[in-house]
Structure 1
């Protein structure tokens, strides 16, 4: 538990909040959008498990620009 006291939470907390917001927004957009570049379930896995980069990759490459 001493390791948790050594973490600079003032620097880490904004990154965690940004990560959570990006994941939620990307998942909501994934549910609402009709067509994506690839199966939706794969994009959901990418968004959830690749953390900070996954939602960004989804917004850049996953959305189908019709």
Structure 2
């Protein structure tokens, strides 16, 4: 995420605004009920695969967990 984006949306006091924004983008595919900020890195299974960084761990309204990077 860019600095301005992370500065505003990456703060706990603005979490509900981020949830509302992401829910508007997802348009019913998923409905985020809560999210947790994290800096989670996941490597590929092989050294030739790229690394992925996820910043948000989301909890859907049905209790499912998914990542938004």
Q: TM-score, normalised by structure 1?
A: 0.31
Larger relative CO (CA 8 A, sep 6+): 1 or 2? 1
Higher strand fraction (1 or 2)? 2
Q: TM-score, normalised by structure 2?
A: 0.30
Higher helix fraction (1 or 2)? 1
